[in-house]
Structure 1
Amino acid sequence: MKAEAYLFAGVAAFFFITDAFYIWLAREPAGAAALAVSFGMAAVISFFCAMNYRRKGRRPEDRSEAKIHERAGTVDFFPPDSRYPVLVGFGVALLALGLVYGLWVFLIGIGVTGLSVFGMVFQYVDRDV
Protein backbone atom coordinates (compact mmCIF):
# COMPACT_ATOMS: atom_id res chain seq x y z
CA MET A 1 0.00 0.00 0.00
CA LYS A 2 2.98 2.30 0.33
CA ALA A 3 3.40 2.63 -3.43
CA GLU A 4 -0.29 3.41 -3.85
CA ALA A 5 -0.10 6.03 -1.10
CA TYR A 6 2.81 7.74 -2.87
CA LEU A 7 1.03 7.51 -6.22
CA PHE A 8 -2.13 9.20 -4.97
CA ALA A 9 -0.10 11.74 -2.98
CA GLY A 10 1.52 12.71 -6.28
CA VAL A 11 -1.89 12.98 -7.92
CA ALA A 12 -3.10 15.15 -5.02
CA ALA A 13 -0.03 17.38 -5.31
CA PHE A 14 -0.64 17.74 -9.05
CA PHE A 15 -4.24 18.83 -8.48
CA PHE A 16 -3.17 21.21 -5.70
CA ILE A 17 -0.56 22.93 -7.86
CA THR A 18 -2.90 23.00 -10.85
CA ASP A 19 -5.64 24.48 -8.68
CA ALA A 20 -3.30 27.21 -7.39
CA PHE A 21 -2.31 28.20 -10.92
CA TYR A 22 -5.91 28.01 -12.09
CA ILE A 23 -7.11 30.30 -9.31
CA TRP A 24 -4.29 32.73 -10.02
CA LEU A 25 -4.70 32.84 -13.81
CA ALA A 26 -8.35 32.08 -14.57
CA ARG A 27 -10.23 33.51 -11.58
CA GLU A 28 -13.19 31.27 -12.35
CA PRO A 29 -14.87 29.57 -9.38
CA ALA A 30 -16.31 26.43 -11.02
CA GLY A 31 -12.99 25.10 -12.30
CA ALA A 32 -11.25 26.02 -9.06
CA ALA A 33 -13.88 24.13 -7.07
CA ALA A 34 -13.60 21.07 -9.34
CA LEU A 35 -9.81 21.01 -8.97
CA ALA A 36 -10.08 21.48 -5.20
CA VAL A 37 -12.50 18.56 -4.94
CA SER A 38 -10.16 16.45 -7.09
CA PHE A 39 -7.30 17.31 -4.75
CA GLY A 40 -9.40 16.36 -1.75
CA MET A 41 -10.45 13.00 -3.19
CA ALA A 42 -6.88 12.06 -4.14
CA ALA A 43 -5.66 13.13 -0.69
CA VAL A 44 -8.28 10.97 1.03
CA ILE A 45 -7.26 7.92 -1.02
CA SER A 46 -3.60 8.58 -0.28
CA PHE A 47 -4.33 8.90 3.45
CA PHE A 48 -6.34 5.65 3.40
CA CYS A 49 -3.54 3.75 1.68
CA ALA A 50 -0.90 5.18 4.03
CA MET A 51 -2.92 4.26 7.13
CA ASN A 52 -3.58 0.77 5.76
CA TYR A 53 0.16 0.31 5.17
CA ARG A 54 0.97 1.55 8.67
CA ARG A 55 -1.60 -0.74 10.29
CA LYS A 56 -1.10 -3.94 8.25
CA GLY A 57 2.45 -3.65 6.95
CA ARG A 58 3.72 -4.91 3.62
CA ARG A 59 1.52 -7.17 1.54
CA PRO A 60 2.80 -10.31 -0.17
CA GLU A 61 2.53 -8.46 -3.50
CA ASP A 62 5.03 -5.89 -2.26
CA ARG A 63 7.76 -8.43 -1.47
CA SER A 64 9.78 -10.13 -4.19
CA GLU A 65 10.49 -13.22 -2.04
CA ALA A 66 6.79 -13.85 -1.23
CA LYS A 67 5.18 -17.17 -2.10
CA ILE A 68 1.87 -17.61 -3.87
CA HIS A 69 0.24 -19.41 -0.94
CA GLU A 70 0.65 -16.35 1.29
CA ARG A 71 -2.24 -14.64 -0.49
CA ALA A 72 -4.38 -17.77 -0.88
CA GLY A 73 -7.66 -18.20 0.92
CA THR A 74 -11.08 -16.61 1.01
CA VAL A 75 -11.05 -13.22 -0.65
CA ASP A 76 -14.27 -11.78 0.75
CA PHE A 77 -18.00 -12.27 0.96
CA PHE A 78 -19.84 -11.59 -2.29
CA PRO A 79 -23.62 -11.52 -1.78
CA PRO A 80 -25.98 -13.43 -4.05
CA ASP A 81 -29.04 -11.91 -5.72
CA SER A 82 -30.67 -9.01 -3.87
CA ARG A 83 -33.66 -6.82 -4.65
CA TYR A 84 -32.45 -3.90 -2.55
CA PRO A 85 -30.26 -2.16 -5.17
CA VAL A 86 -33.29 -1.93 -7.46
CA LEU A 87 -35.34 -0.49 -4.60
CA VAL A 88 -32.62 2.06 -3.83
CA GLY A 89 -32.65 3.13 -7.48
CA PHE A 90 -36.44 3.42 -7.42
CA GLY A 91 -36.27 5.51 -4.25
CA VAL A 92 -33.67 7.86 -5.72
CA ALA A 93 -35.82 8.20 -8.85
CA LEU A 94 -38.74 9.17 -6.60
CA LEU A 95 -36.51 11.73 -4.89
CA ALA A 96 -35.62 13.27 -8.26
CA LEU A 97 -39.25 13.30 -9.37
CA GLY A 98 -40.19 14.88 -6.06
CA LEU A 99 -37.97 17.84 -6.85
CA VAL A 100 -40.08 18.44 -9.95
CA TYR A 101 -43.61 17.39 -8.96
CA GLY A 102 -43.89 18.22 -5.28
CA LEU A 103 -42.94 17.64 -1.71
CA TRP A 104 -45.22 14.64 -1.21
CA VAL A 105 -43.38 12.60 -3.88
CA PHE A 106 -40.06 13.67 -2.35
CA LEU A 107 -41.15 12.46 1.09
CA ILE A 108 -42.23 9.11 -0.34
CA GLY A 109 -38.82 8.90 -2.02
CA ILE A 110 -37.08 9.57 1.30
CA GLY A 111 -39.05 6.75 2.89
CA VAL A 112 -38.41 4.25 0.09
CA THR A 113 -34.71 5.16 -0.15
CA GLY A 114 -34.19 5.05 3.62
CA LEU A 115 -35.88 1.69 4.09
CA SER A 116 -34.15 0.11 1.11
CA VAL A 117 -30.70 1.37 2.17
CA PHE A 118 -31.39 0.05 5.68
CA GLY A 119 -32.41 -3.30 4.22
CA MET A 120 -29.36 -3.47 1.96
CA VAL A 121 -26.98 -2.66 4.82
CA PHE A 122 -28.45 -5.16 7.27
CA GLN A 123 -29.46 -7.89 4.80
CA TYR A 124 -26.56 -10.22 5.66
CA VAL A 125 -25.90 -9.17 9.25
CA ASP A 126 -26.69 -12.63 10.64
CA ARG A 127 -24.66 -14.66 8.12
CA ASP A 128 -21.98 -17.09 9.24
CA VAL A 129 -18.49 -15.71 8.75
Structure 2
Amino acid sequence: MKVQGKLFIWLAVFVLVIAVVYGVWSKEPAGTTALFLGFGLCIMIGFYLAFTARRVDAGAQDNKEADVADDAGEVGFFSPHSWQPLALGIGGALAFMGVVFGWWLVFFSAPILMIGLWGWVFEYYRGESQNQ
Protein backbone atom coordinates (compact mmCIF):
# COMPACT_ATOMS: atom_id res chain seq x y z
CA MET A 1 0.00 0.00 0.00
CA LYS A 2 2.97 2.30 0.29
CA VAL A 3 3.22 2.58 -3.48
CA GLN A 4 -0.45 3.48 -3.86
CA GLY A 5 -0.27 6.05 -1.06
CA LYS A 6 2.71 7.78 -2.65
CA LEU A 7 1.04 7.63 -6.05
CA PHE A 8 -2.08 9.41 -4.81
CA ILE A 9 -0.10 11.99 -2.83
CA TRP A 10 1.96 12.85 -5.92
CA LEU A 11 -1.22 12.94 -7.97
CA ALA A 12 -2.70 15.35 -5.43
CA VAL A 13 0.34 17.62 -5.74
CA PHE A 14 0.00 17.57 -9.54
CA VAL A 15 -3.73 18.34 -9.40
CA LEU A 16 -3.08 21.20 -6.94
CA VAL A 17 -0.53 22.78 -9.28
CA ILE A 18 -2.90 22.39 -12.22
CA ALA A 19 -5.78 23.86 -10.17
CA VAL A 20 -3.75 26.94 -9.25
CA VAL A 21 -2.51 27.46 -12.82
CA TYR A 22 -6.00 26.91 -14.25
CA GLY A 23 -7.61 29.21 -11.69
CA VAL A 24 -5.15 32.05 -12.29
CA TRP A 25 -5.14 31.65 -16.05
CA SER A 26 -8.83 31.11 -16.77
CA LYS A 27 -10.55 32.84 -13.82
CA GLU A 28 -13.37 30.32 -14.30
CA PRO A 29 -14.85 29.32 -10.92
CA ALA A 30 -16.56 26.02 -11.78
CA GLY A 31 -13.53 24.27 -13.26
CA THR A 32 -11.23 25.69 -10.60
CA THR A 33 -13.53 24.42 -7.86
CA ALA A 34 -13.73 20.99 -9.52
CA LEU A 35 -9.94 20.77 -9.68
CA PHE A 36 -9.56 21.79 -6.03
CA LEU A 37 -12.15 19.16 -5.08
CA GLY A 38 -10.19 16.63 -7.12
CA PHE A 39 -7.09 17.65 -5.15
CA GLY A 40 -8.99 17.11 -1.91
CA LEU A 41 -10.14 13.65 -2.97
CA CYS A 42 -6.63 12.62 -4.04
CA ILE A 43 -5.06 13.84 -0.81
CA MET A 44 -7.69 12.04 1.30
CA ILE A 45 -7.15 8.75 -0.50
CA GLY A 46 -3.36 9.16 -0.43
CA PHE A 47 -3.33 9.98 3.27
CA TYR A 48 -5.57 7.02 4.06
CA LEU A 49 -3.43 4.59 2.07
CA ALA A 50 -0.17 5.94 3.56
CA PHE A 51 -1.68 5.89 7.06
CA THR A 52 -2.94 2.32 6.63
CA ALA A 53 0.35 1.12 5.08
CA ARG A 54 2.16 1.87 8.34
CA ARG A 55 -0.16 -0.43 10.29
CA VAL A 56 -0.31 -3.47 8.01
CA ASP A 57 2.36 -5.88 6.87
CA ALA A 58 4.12 -5.15 3.61
CA GLY A 59 2.32 -6.70 0.68
CA ALA A 60 3.78 -8.29 -2.41
CA GLN A 61 3.35 -5.02 -4.31
CA ASP A 62 5.77 -3.33 -1.86
CA ASN A 63 8.54 -5.85 -2.59
CA LYS A 64 10.48 -4.94 -5.74
CA GLU A 65 11.58 -8.55 -6.26
CA ALA A 66 8.16 -10.16 -5.79
CA ASP A 67 6.52 -12.36 -8.41
CA VAL A 68 2.91 -12.17 -9.49
CA ALA A 69 2.26 -15.47 -7.69
CA ASP A 70 3.36 -13.94 -4.37
CA ASP A 71 0.12 -11.97 -4.23
CA ALA A 72 -2.08 -14.96 -5.10
CA GLY A 73 -4.67 -16.25 -2.69
CA GLU A 74 -8.24 -15.67 -1.67
CA VAL A 75 -9.43 -12.20 -2.55
CA GLY A 76 -12.79 -12.34 -0.80
CA PHE A 77 -16.35 -13.54 -1.13
CA PHE A 78 -18.30 -12.49 -4.18
CA SER A 79 -21.95 -13.29 -4.58
CA PRO A 80 -22.42 -15.85 -7.37
CA HIS A 81 -25.80 -14.50 -8.35
CA SER A 82 -27.89 -11.57 -7.25
CA TRP A 83 -30.79 -9.66 -8.77
CA GLN A 84 -30.43 -6.73 -6.39
CA PRO A 85 -27.89 -4.72 -8.46
CA LEU A 86 -30.40 -4.76 -11.32
CA ALA A 87 -33.05 -3.18 -9.07
CA LEU A 88 -30.51 -0.62 -7.85
CA GLY A 89 -29.47 0.17 -11.42
CA ILE A 90 -33.06 0.65 -12.58
CA GLY A 91 -33.90 2.76 -9.52
CA GLY A 92 -30.76 4.85 -9.96
CA ALA A 93 -31.46 5.38 -13.65
CA LEU A 94 -35.01 6.50 -12.87
CA ALA A 95 -33.76 8.82 -10.14
CA PHE A 96 -31.26 10.47 -12.47
CA MET A 97 -33.92 10.73 -15.17
CA GLY A 98 -35.99 12.52 -12.56
CA VAL A 99 -33.44 15.33 -12.61
CA VAL A 100 -33.92 15.67 -16.37
CA PHE A 101 -37.65 15.07 -16.85
CA GLY A 102 -39.11 16.13 -13.52
CA TRP A 103 -38.69 15.53 -9.83
CA TRP A 104 -41.95 13.57 -9.74
CA LEU A 105 -40.03 10.61 -11.22
CA VAL A 106 -37.93 10.41 -8.05
CA PHE A 107 -41.04 9.38 -6.12
CA PHE A 108 -41.29 6.28 -8.31
CA SER A 109 -37.59 5.51 -8.17
CA ALA A 110 -37.17 5.82 -4.39
CA PRO A 111 -39.15 2.65 -3.55
CA ILE A 112 -37.26 0.68 -6.20
CA LEU A 113 -33.97 1.91 -4.76
CA MET A 114 -35.02 1.07 -1.20
CA ILE A 115 -36.19 -2.42 -2.15
CA GLY A 116 -32.96 -3.08 -4.06
CA LEU A 117 -30.78 -1.76 -1.25
CA TRP A 118 -32.70 -3.68 1.43
CA GLY A 119 -32.55 -6.86 -0.62
CA TRP A 120 -28.82 -6.51 -1.27
CA VAL A 121 -27.92 -5.82 2.36
CA PHE A 122 -30.01 -8.68 3.73
CA GLU A 123 -29.50 -11.09 0.82
CA TYR A 124 -27.67 -13.69 2.92
CA TYR A 125 -29.91 -13.38 5.98
CA ARG A 126 -32.94 -15.12 4.49
CA GLY A 127 -33.86 -18.14 2.41
CA GLU A 128 -31.36 -20.90 1.59
CA SER A 129 -28.39 -18.75 2.54
CA GLN A 130 -29.60 -18.05 6.07
CA ASN A 131 -27.16 -19.31 8.70
CA GLN A 132 -28.80 -21.55 11.26
Gaps of 5+ in 2: none
Aligned equivalents of 1:127 and 1:13: distance in 2?
A: 48
Deviations 1:29-74 (A, max 9, x none): 1210221122122112212211220221311332357688864532
Partner of 1:124: 124
| Mapping of residues 53-92 of structure 1, within 5 Å | 53-63=53-63, 71-92=71-92
Partner of 2:7: 7
| SS of equivalent to 2:58 | coil
Offset of residue 26 of structure 1: 1.2
| Percentage identity across paired residues of the two chains | 31
Partner of 2:106: 106
RMSD of aligned Cα (Å): 2.6
| SS of equivalent to 1:87 | helix
Offset of residue 76 of structure 1: 0.8
Gaps of 5+ in 1: none
| Matching of residue 28 in structure 1 with residue 33 in structure 2 | no
* TM-score, normalisation: structure 1: 0.80
Q: How many pairs align?
A: 127
Aligned equivalents of 1:127 and 1:35: distance in 2?
A: 46
Structure 1 pair 14–91 and aligned structure 2 pair: CA distance change class (3 A): same
Amino acid at match of 1:88: L
Offset of residue 17 of structure 1: 1.3
Structure 1 pair 123–106 and aligned structure 2 pair: CA distance change class (3 A): same
| SS of equivalent to 1:79 | coil
Deviations 1:61-106 (A, max 9, x none): 3235768886453221111111111101111222234442452x32
